[in-house]
Each structure stands twice: as structure tokens, then as C-alpha cells.
Structure 1
Amino acid sequence: MQKFISDESFWELFPEAAIAVLSVRGLKESGLTDVQKDEIKDLLAQANRQAAKYVPCEPISANEVVQVWREAYRKFPTKKGARCSIEALLKRVLHDTPVGSIVPSVDITNAVSLKYAFPIGVENIDAFAGDLHLGAMKGDEAFLPIGSDHEEPPLPGEIAYYDSEGVVCRCWNWRDGQRTQMQDYTPNAFVAMECVEPHRRDDLQKAADDLAALLTKYLQAEIVTIAIVTKKNPEVALR
């Protein structure tokens, strides 16, 4: 049995956080009709418009959904300039350069991320070495980031997703590694959506349910696991 396990070292820093976890198999990018492709593009366009409510003012750091993540990143060592992934999406909305269409699976996750203002990470679950963890790093773990040709190990104490071969995503939800990245037509995936605001737990559940429904409707996905991980429920079976 393969699991996602959130370590005690994570909960010591973020006792009120919650993580929506999905394990998905059988994703199919091909076979979409033109009507379905247009529907997905429309979902993304609508989500760009909806996200404007989260960033009503300049600078982007003045907006609450960005502030909470910047504060979260101050609780552990990070590489200079590292930011939560949702900030990059919302910056596009704030500057009136909407997040554009890429491929259906990415468009769907971006649409849900924008609609609810939660960061979403997607990884190739078949590339995991054993269980996936979230916790504090020693600082010597292997990590080859996407778009780089040299290793960039995490800092000691940095929060990251990791498995028995090294880091999967650095600085919690900042930068993915090459080893577990999604490729064209990767069929099986792990999805994580993070929340650091206790009052938004209901929104997190709605976002997870929306994402599961969209992946099922458009990409013929089978949802193997959908769960909310908390300090009281720190692990979940993925398959």
C-alpha cells in the first residue's frame, strides 16, 4: 500500500493547515471533442475573472490570500525569491494578463486553483519511490528541478514533499522536480491542494470535489482517493 504521510515536523509549524489529497488514475488527454475543449477553455476564462476578487489591489503582497502564504513561507528556510505557486497565477490576474490555455489537464487544475485561490500541485504518482511525505528536510536530499541541469538540494529545515529517493517539490509548493513531473499523457497522478486558513476548510473541500468532478467528466479519470489531511488525520492511502 502506498501512502501520503504528513510528518510531525510539518504540523509543528502548521498545526491548523489542511491538505486536500487526490490519487487519480486513467487520465486521458486524447479523445476530447472540440466542444469539450472549448468548455474547458471557458472554465479557465471564467476562473480568471472570478479570481479578480482575491487580488483587488496593488501591490500583490497587500492582498490577504498572498499575505497568508508569504507569512507561511517565513516559518521555514526557503530559497531566496521562492513564492507559493498560487501567487504566480494571481499575479497574472492582477496585471490583466489572464492565465492562458495549455492542455486540458493543466487548464482544469489552473481553473480550480484560480476559482478558489488555493495552490495545486500535480505529480506523476508512478514515479514515486515508496510513500510520499511532507516534512522538514535534512538538507542533503537529491533534487533536480524542472528546467535545470544541476542538483539544487533543499535547505536544512525546509518544508518539502519527498520520497525515499529525494525531494519531489521544494519549499512546500514552490518548485517541482524532473523525476516526478507530469508528462504528456501521464495516466496516473497525485494531486495536493493546500490551505493555511482554518476558516477556508469548507472551500478546500468544495475545491477538491470540483476538481475530482472535472477530471472525471473531461479526462475520464478514476478517483482512487480523495481526502483532507489534517494534524488529526495525517496520512492517507493513495493506492
Structure 2
Amino acid sequence: MKKFVIEDSFWSLFPQAKIGVITCHGIDNTIKDSDQYRKMISSAEEEALKYLQDAKFSNNTVIKVWREAFQKFKTKKGARSSIEALLKRIDKGNHIGTINPLVDIYNTISLKYGLPCGGEDIDKFVGDISLTIAVGDEEFIPLGKDENSPPYEGEIVYKDDKGAICRCWNWREAVRTMLTENTVNAFLCIELVDESRLMDFENALKELWKLVQDNLGGRIKMSILDIDNKEIVVD
């Protein structure tokens, strides 16, 4: 039985945070209609422009709250939240490409609601997964690389018994647990640090659940973790 546990070291920094989790079992993530997801992402890109009302990119609220969050823990120089990375591409007029249905769906939700979303293959987890402060010796091979790049001591990471899964909270993902066309069981999450956006967070989580259920089938479960509810079973 694998669990997802958010440790007290995280809550000491972000006591008001909420992590929404969608666990998916028995889904079909094979690519059947790329055009469907391309249109989905394109529509979300247009909606995401509402988060970029200030001409100075860093002044926009969605960007600012996550930059402030990243200042509370040790980060790699230049590391930014996943939602900032997506919005920066939109701001520059670049489109988000399709990858596979699960990734396309969570990118759509991330853009539409202006919240960081991510996902991992549950079957690739070794033991439990936790959101915690890194020791600094965790193995981590990022997407697109083949060399170990361990997190800093004091960095917020998702990790399991084998190593880090995502560095700097939601900045960079490990190749080991990434979602692929062959993924059957998946862990998806949405992260909230701005309490004023609780309704957006809840609506994003519900829509993520529905899109996965309607398009990929399987058994889908939704959970919200906070300081009073720190762990769930994921398999």
C-alpha cells in the first residue's frame, strides 16, 4: 500500500497551503486524437491571458504569489513555479504542445485556472511518496538529462524511497516517474498557496477529475490535503 504523505517540515513553511490530489487507476493514456487535446490547450491558452493583465510580468498576482513562496525555501538559481513557466510561454506568444492525454489535460487545467498542476506514474514510485524538505543527497535525474542532479539541502521536493521526483516543489520533474502513453495508474496534483483562490482551486480539481474520467476512463478519486489531513493512500 503506497501513501502520499505531506510532512511537518512542509507545513512549518506553508501552514495554509492545500494540495489537491487525483489518483487514477486503470486509465487508458494512449494517444488517439492529438487534435482534440491541441484544441483544449489552445482554448486554455486564451483563458490564461487574464492572469497577465500587468505589462510587467512579475507584477501579475499568479506570478508574484509563487515567487514569494519560492523565497521561503532553498531553490536552485532561476527556478520558477510550473505555472510561471507556462504563463511565460503564453506571454511570449508561444504555444504549449501536446505530449500525452494526461499531461495535456493537466496543462489545460493549469492554464485555465492559473495554478500549478503536475502528475506522476504511480507504478514507478518506490515506497511512499512525500512532500517534504530535501536532505540534499536524493537521486534526481531531470527530464531531458542523464546525469544525477540532487536537490539542495532545505529544498522542497516530492520524493520516494529511491530519490526526488520533483525539485523545487513544482519546478522540475524526474524522468523516472514521468507520465507516458503507457501509464495506467497516475498521481495528479494541484497546489494552492493563495488562500483567496480557494474556489478556483476547488473548481480546478473538480474539472481535472471530470476531464480524466470522461476521456481516459478508469477509477478516479479526488482528495484535498491540508495541515489537518496530511496523508492519503494512492494505490
Report the alpha carbon displacement of residue 221 of structure 1 after superposing the two structures with TM.
Answer: 3.2
Contact 2:2–2:234 (CA under 8 A) maintained in structure 1 = yes
Cα offsets for 1:54-94 (capped at 9, x unmatched): 01133321111000000100000001111101111111222
Report the alpha carbon displacement of residue 235 of structure 1 after superposing the two structures with TM.
Answer: 1.0
Report the alpha carbon displacement of residue 121 of structure 1 after superposing the two structures with TM.
Answer: 1.1
Give secondary structure in 2 for the equivalent of 1:24.
strand
Matched, 1:18 2:14: no
1:143 to 137, 140, 144: 140
Query: Between the two proteins, what is the percent identity of the paired residues?
Result: 44
**Unmatched 5+ stretches in structure 1:** none
The one-letter code matched in structure 1 to 2:228 is K
* Paired position in structure 1 for 2:173: 176
Q: CA RMSD in A?
A: 1.5
Give secondary structure in 1 for the equivalent of 2:213.
helix
Alignment partners' CA distance in 2, 1:183 and 1:22: 17
Matched, 1:27 2:27: yes
Report the alpha carbon displacement of residue 96 of structure 1 after superposing the two structures with TM.
Answer: 2.2
Report the alpha carbon displacement of residue 101 of structure 1 after superposing the two structures with TM.
Answer: 3.1
Cα offsets for 1:186-234 (capped at 9, x unmatched): 11111111010112122111111101111111112320x3111101111
The one-letter code matched in structure 2 to 1:53 is K
Counting matched residue pairs gives: 235
Alignment partners' CA distance in 1, 2:96 and 2:199: 25
Alignment partners' CA distance in 2, 1:197 and 1:27: 31
Alignment partners' CA distance in 2, 1:149 and 1:75: 29
Contact 2:102–2:179 (CA under 8 A) maintained in structure 1 = no
* Paired position in structure 2 for 1:235: 231
**Unmatched 5+ stretches in structure 2:** none
Report the alpha carbon displacement of residue 40 of structure 1 after superposing the two structures with TM.
Answer: 3.2
* Paired position in structure 2 for 1:195: 192
Alignment partners' CA distance in 2, 1:112 and 1:221: 19
* Paired position in structure 1 for 2:218: 221
Alignment partners' CA distance in 2, 1:157 and 1:109: 28
Alignment partners' CA distance in 2, 1:213 and 1:157: 36
The one-letter code matched in structure 1 to 2:44 is A
Alignment partners' CA distance in 2, 1:206 and 1:200: 10
Alignment partners' CA distance in 1, 2:89 and 2:30: 28
The one-letter code matched in structure 1 to 2:54 is C
Counterparts of residues 13-162 of structure 1 (less than 5 Å): 13-30=13-30, 32=32, 38-162=35-159
The one-letter code matched in structure 1 to 2:3 is K
Cα offsets for 1:115-135 (capped at 9, x unmatched): 101111111110111111001
Alignment partners' CA distance in 2, 1:29 and 1:140: 33
The one-letter code matched in structure 2 to 1:229 is L
Give secondary structure in 2 for the equivalent of 1:13.
coil
* Paired position in structure 1 for 2:208: 211
The one-letter code matched in structure 1 to 2:210 is A
The one-letter code matched in structure 2 to 1:234 is K
Alignment partners' CA distance in 2, 1:136 and 1:121: 19
Alignment partners' CA distance in 1, 2:36 and 2:144: 31
The one-letter code matched in structure 1 to 2:14 is F
* Paired position in structure 2 for 1:165: 162
